[in-house]
Structure 1
Amino acid sequence: MSTKLTSLSHGGGCGCKIAPAVLSEMLSKLPAAAIFPKLLVGTETSDDAAVYWLNDEQALVATTDFFMPIVDDAFDFGRIAATNAISDIYAMGGTPIMALAIVGMPVNLLPIEDIQQILAGGAAVCAAAGIPIAGGHSIDAPEPIYGLVAMGLVHPKQLKKNSDAKAGDVLILGKPLGIGILGTAMKKGLLDDAGYQQLIDTTTQLNMVGSDLAKLAGVHALTDVTGFGLLGHLLEVCRGAKLTANVLANDLPLLSAAVGFAQQGIGPGAIERNLASFGQDVDFAEQVPDWQQRIMADAQTSGGLLVACSAETVDEVMALFKAQGFAQAAVIGQLAEGEARVLVA
């Protein structure tokens, strides 16, 4: 490939997201939304997608997600971006039905062949998910941008919202952390082939298991961990449900290739932005080292599903994860009555 994709953008993957506190301030002056009775999920609880009631058996799940390259390989970039976008459908308990492509490319800098490979990567993931890319929109942009508008269906009674988590729920994370750290190491030329393969394997693994998890009555809430890191997205659950999360740092699943880089302080700038945004809502015990704090705030691109389920449902949830190839899925903590915050021990 003649051009390194990451050299054409100022950020990459979900690390491009605007920091949570800044985004909250930007949205704070918007007028109150009109009441639409059929809109089951809007912006109120920071859920992963909007959901609109169609009938007693179906609700439409709609989301959009796009970003700049996290890797240099064009086909892999397309795959990662598409996997990440579709994940929001699974995180609501839905099943995707189709997608539209969002394409912004510096056509004078990037060879047409590379752009074709980006689109091919996205199409390959959609084919694996069993959905068409039915259209889209493209612009000539100064930096490469690719993503999808994804749409799906969910039974209204199986819809999983952040605000539905319950005190006593066990927290389970489906994929290991460290994606943003590996992406940064790659940009610095520090990542070996094995580490790159870990990065690609996890970011292109579709979170299809979400559709099956939603059918379990004991699963109360789902979300996917992306640009705000594990702590940021867990905070959204805590705020939506008005609960306190207790997380055990040593129980977190981690990408093995990312641990050494994390201990060296290597990672995307989004880590500092995320940590600053949490403020007093995240409290680390003294024994939690800095590198573990950072990896919990690491911006994940196409990260894992975070599940809040009853203690009686844990074995079923873990069995579904393992059966669908999520080998590192792990119990990481529990929700309790209290202020909307995260306590890490």
Structure 2
Amino acid sequence: MGIETSDDAAIYKITDEIAMIQTVDFFTPIVDDPYMFGQIAAANSLSDVWAMGGEPAVALNIVGFPNCLDPSILGDILAGGADKVKEAGAVLVGGHSVQDDEPKYGLCVSGFVHPDKIFKNFGCRPGDALLLTKQIGSGVVNTAIKAEMASASAIEEAERVMASLNKKAKQVVEKYDVSACTDITGFGLLGHCVEMASASDVTFEIQVRDVAYFADAIDYAKMGLVPAGTYKNKGYSIGKVETGSVEEHYLDLLYDPQTSGGLLISVPSASVQDMMRDFAQAGMDTEVSVIGRVSTKSDKLIRLF
């Protein structure tokens, strides 16, 4: 696997039966609780392995931490990460730390996949349905949290969903003939849709109101509680999107940078009903939504309705 289509992780073929997936990610705290921060950062780092169709095996901690903070805070961050790695079925084997002015945490993760079963972020076929396995709007909700305007229910949902592993979703997806798959992170839903549609030489038709959003996220977006990354994402790809009459607050949410977001899957429409049944039976604690369809390429990569 190369970098031509901005895929989620590197793939190194070892044998005809085994390929290694390699990925790394880390960031600064987005919640106040250090244990929860560790869980979210680890879930985010592990996600790329499932987005490529594999299973994580080995993880290494990456840590930046200030000397002025109590070391117990770092202990809580690492405990949160370790618990998520264990939940993922992988092994944590150490890591590396440096002194830094601001806390940073994440993982370098190695996983494995059969070379013939890799999920790629290209290959979408006209007629496919587009499914999303987590609700979006975490950046908007986190902005509301920083402004001390978020409700308790919105905070609980955001933390729960961001800390949720994409493991169960991947285990459902792999049973079907998946055309393409990626996970939604910093470029926002539309940014990743643009990448996938461009690499597949197709156009995505997105039904904006069919997308699952975090509780209160629409209200917060209407209030202007939008992170700076949203505007950077818009500037990158807005010319490739036909927005139609979609309201600005929906655009803000669709471009909202996500932390530990869900999987975006392109799959034959005939499989959707069975997949949604399997998602429901998997006991996931996130919302799965059918957000649109793939059509033949037009003058825009994305059309919003």
Q: TM-score range by the shorter chain?
A: over 0.9
Aligned to 1:254: 213
Post-superposition CA distance 1:97-138 (Å, at most 9, x none): 110111011122x21111111111100101111111112111
Q: How many Å separate the matches in 1 of 2:240 and 2:49? A: 28
Aligned to 1:63: 23
Letter in 2 for 1:262: A
Q: How many Å separate the matches in 1 of 2:62 and 2:276? A: 34
Aligned to 1:199: 158
1:138-287 paired onto structure 2 within 5 Å? 138-286=97-245
Aligned to 2:34: 74
Which range moves more in the overlay, 259-268 or 72-81?
A: 259-268
Aligned to 2:67: 107
Distance 1:219 1:80, change over 3 A: same
Letter in 2 for 1:83: A
- Cα shift at 1:318: 1.6
8 A contact 1:238–1:341 mirrored in 2: yes
Letter in 1 for 2:138: I
Post-superposition CA distance 1:177-211 (Å, at most 9, x none): 11001111111111232221011110011000354
SS of 1:69's equivalent?
coil
Q: How many Å separate the matches in 2 of 1:219 and 1:175? A: 18
Q: How many Å separate the matches in 2 of 1:78 and 1:118? A: 4
8 A contact 1:163–1:221 mirrored in 2: yes
Q: How many Å separate the matches in 2 of 1:111 and 1:165? A: 49
Q: How many Å separate the matches in 1 of 2:159 and 2:195? A: 27
8 A contact 1:243–1:338 mirrored in 2: yes
Aligned to 1:295: 253
1:300-315 paired onto structure 2 within 5 Å? 300-315=258-273
Post-superposition CA distance 1:116-166 (Å, at most 9, x none): 111111001011111111121111112111000111111111101112222
Post-superposition CA distance 1:241-283 (Å, at most 9, x none): 1111110101110111212101111121111111111131112
8 A contact 2:47–2:166 mirrored in 1: yes
Q: How many Å separate the matches in 2 of 1:48 and 1:146? A: 19
Q: How many Å separate the matches in 2 of 1:319 and 1:46? A: 31
SS of 1:162's equivalent?
coil
Letter in 2 for 1:302: S
Aligned to 2:2: 42
Post-superposition CA distance 1:273-320 (Å, at most 9, x none): 11111131112012x110001000001100111000001111232223
SS of 1:163's equivalent?
coil
Aligned to 1:134: 93
- Match among 272, 281, 288 for residue 329 of structure 1: 288
Aligned to 1:18: none
Q: How many Å separate the matches in 1 of 2:83 and 2:47? A: 15
SS of 1:202's equivalent?
helix
Distance 1:326 1:156, change over 3 A: farther
1:77-92 paired onto structure 2 within 5 Å? 77-92=37-52
Distance 1:117 1:254, change over 3 A: same
- Structure 2 residues without counterparts, runs of 5 or longer: none
Letter in 1 for 2:50: Y
Distance 1:326 1:247, change over 3 A: farther
Q: How many Å separate the matches in 2 of 1:239 and 1:84? A: 24
Q: Structure 1 vs Structure 2: percent identity of aligned residues?
A: 37
TM-score w.r.t. the length of structure 1 is 0.85
Letter in 2 for 1:174: T
Which range moves more in the overlay, 331-340 or 44-53?
A: 331-340
SS of 1:99's equivalent?
strand
